[in-house]
With several copies, the nearest count.
Chain A
Amino acid sequence: MKLFEFEAKEILKKHGVKVPRSVLLEKGEKNPLEKIKAAGLEPPIVVKSQVLVAGRGKAGGIKIAKTWEEAEKLIAELFEKPIKGLKPRYLLIEEAIPHEKELYASIIIDRSERKPVILASQFGGMDIEQIAKEKPESIVRMYVDPFLGLKAYQARKIGKMIGLKGKILNSFASFLIGLYDVFMEYDADLAESNPLAVTEDGVIPLDARLIIDDNSIYKHPDISERNLEDTGEYTEWEIKARKMGLAFVELDGDIGIIGNGAGLTMTTMDLVYLYGGKPANFLDIGGGASKELVKTAVKFLIDLPRTKKIFMNIFGGITRCDEVARGIVAALEELGGSPKPLVIRLSGTNEEEGRKILQENGIDAYTDPIEAVQKVVSL
């Protein structure tokens, strides 16, 4: 789960990391300037749209106000300005930080080493993909033992490797330890600061990102759940699907896909593409799906406007083909028949029983996935 910049910075601050002085404005705030003055801030100030999409700055979501008049105007403007389709509920108002240089620092878990890895570069400000492309040799990596934690000497070593020294180096090391503590304490998938500004006094994060592992949210009651609508990660139909408990990703084709198991479902998409069709989505009903879940999934894909036809590829392992068949029948009964062609491949556990249930309801099913995919593409 992505945190808003102001949430990430609040957490960093609690862990002893110095962040810019700021005040948060919520939409509808009556006297924003009063609130900013009360917080001891005055122009130049930075007005930052709190949206969860990348590339906020380039999209015009971050502006500097040099005067109170400008501030008032920008605040009104940014509250109304959609950034990649999302309007902010909050604006973060920060002191402007004069700085000489911008660094990059982040922490993720390295899959191969199974350890946290710290990534840093002396070229901050651009995104890591861009740095990796333009200045790959500038990216410094260091693995950390998850039981021992990040030691100060290691943090200093990273700082030295990206060219820092003296007071700035020590400040960077302290920052990194704070970032690491937050990364570990919050089960983060990503803790990042970019840009991390170098000022006369030390480093200070101009931006901060924190993505929490969805599976660990229960451990962190201080983190409030995101509205799916606010994340900018999901389409309208993906949000609907998540609320219904479906593992669904929307694609740009027109053949609706249902599979059981992520690998098989992806493979089903690939097969459709291979045989000349375009998948409309990924929808995995998982292992051991119930009749109810199958019914929900089938109805959902029939409702999905972009599907012209639907391909269901089931290999029964834990999933029982008879249960799947019952779900399909129930869906079609409720809808009074499918308004969109439905091609089904059914194989594996209780295959015969499933096939029988379908036949009794006038529905055919393939055994061979290749035949089935050729059929659905040809429709």
Chain B
Amino acid sequence: MAIIVDENTKLIVQGITGKEGRFHTKLMLDYGTKIVAGVTPGKGGTDVFGIPVYDSVEEAKNAHPEANTSIIFVPARFAADAVYEAIDAGIKTIVVITEHIPVHDAMKFVNYGKSKGVTIIGPNCPGVITPGKAKVGIMPGHIFTPGHVGIVSRSGTLTYEIAYAMTKAGIGQSTAVGIGGDPVIGTSFIEALQMFEEDPETEAIVMVGEIGGDMEERAAKMIEEGKITKPAVAFIAGRTAPPGKRMGHAGAIIMMGTGTAEGKIKALESVGVKVAKTPMEIPDLLKQVLKK
């Protein structure tokens, strides 16, 4: 099972001939991800590491009807169009790596995707990995290991740090989802939590949050309402971030006094979620909740 991607994932890489697309195609192939086709308008007929390239997602999908997932490395100006193209071609899971996509563009394609029943991850995200099965993203594969703890995270490198600490402590991951650091993203914290709740292979969940927005507070509410019953632990970055300043991620900003780390930590602790003070504490907290 796992969530979003697994051994049944048949991937199309949009923007496969670009520098980033090519580089990560190689790394995903090395990891064992089943990539069936690449798309770059105007480059149809060529290939990248043996993967056939098409001019459009529709053509790729016609030639490889088993394709069910797409990862997008297309530059920001063309990324929204690439998402619509994938949706309209019937792709049901789309991972948008591209950063700097205008928020209005993301808002529109996320709404459109929802109306078509499509799962969009990102934009501006590291992607999704189900260790040992499929890596659809740019995370370093070797730091993850198969297991039963789901990770949902707003931050890339921080996820790697935590996953690595877990792996070293002998705690594997069912799936790790980097949902992205932009203000508007396709799959929110609580939607990813819901997926983990429904996944039989996931026994506990690590939530990696940061300042900005109210996704963590909403997650706490879901737990309070009994919608999430699996044990969860959390880490929230940005306790020392000043208000009104964007901390790297477009979405990481404390505005109008909301979105502080303190508020998020308080909300989570009030519903019984243990919040780690450092990323290194996560494995210990997980051992505590998994013991119960």
Contacts and interface: CB of A to CB of B under 8 A. Distances in A.
A149 B32 CA distance: 38
Contacts of B213: 111-112
B104 A184 contact: yes
Given A112-B218, A114-B184, A370-B280, 12 more contacts: A112-B213, A146-B104, A157-B56, A160-B56, A215-B101, A215-B103, A261-B248, A264-B155, A273-B240, A287-B156, A348-B140, A369-B279
A85 interface: no
A315 B56 contact: no
Interface string B134-150: 00001110010000000
B104 A156 contact: no
Contact of B239 (A128, A213, A270): A270
Contacts of B245: 249, 282
12 contacts: A112-B214, A114-B184, A213-B102, A215-B101, A261-B158, A262-B181, A263-B159, A263-B208, A266-B248, A266-B252, A267-B158, A315-B160
Given A147-B108, A287-B156, A264 B102 contact: no
User: Chain B contact residues (Cβ within 8 angstroms of A): what range?
Assistant: 35 or more
A157 B235 CA distance: 42
A147 B213 CA distance: 23
B158 A264 contact: yes
A284 B157 CA distance: 11
Interface stretch (B61-69, B74-82, B198-206): B74-82
B256 A132 contact: yes
User: Chain A contact residues (Cβ within 8 angstroms of B): what range?
Assistant: 35 or more
B133 interface: no
Given A263-B156, A315-B161, A317-B156, A187 B104 contact: yes
A166 interface: yes
Interface string A264-282: 1111011111100001001
Contact of B41 (A111, A116, A156, A189): A156
Contacts of A368: 280
Contacts of A165: 42
Contacts, number: 197
Given A129-B256, A215-B100, A170 B161 contact: no
Contact of B248 (A247, A274, A315, A369): A247
Interface of B: 41-42, 55-58, 76-78, 81-82, 84-85, 88, 100-105, 107-108, 110-112, 114, 126, 138-140, 143, 153-161, 164, 181, 183-184, 188, 208, 210-211, 213-215, 218, 235, 237-242, 245-252, 256-257, 261, 277-280
B157 A260 contact: yes
A109 B183 contact: yes
Contacts of B82: 153
Given A249-B245, A273-B239, A370-B280, A259 B157 contact: yes
A349 interface: yes
A216 B237 contact: no
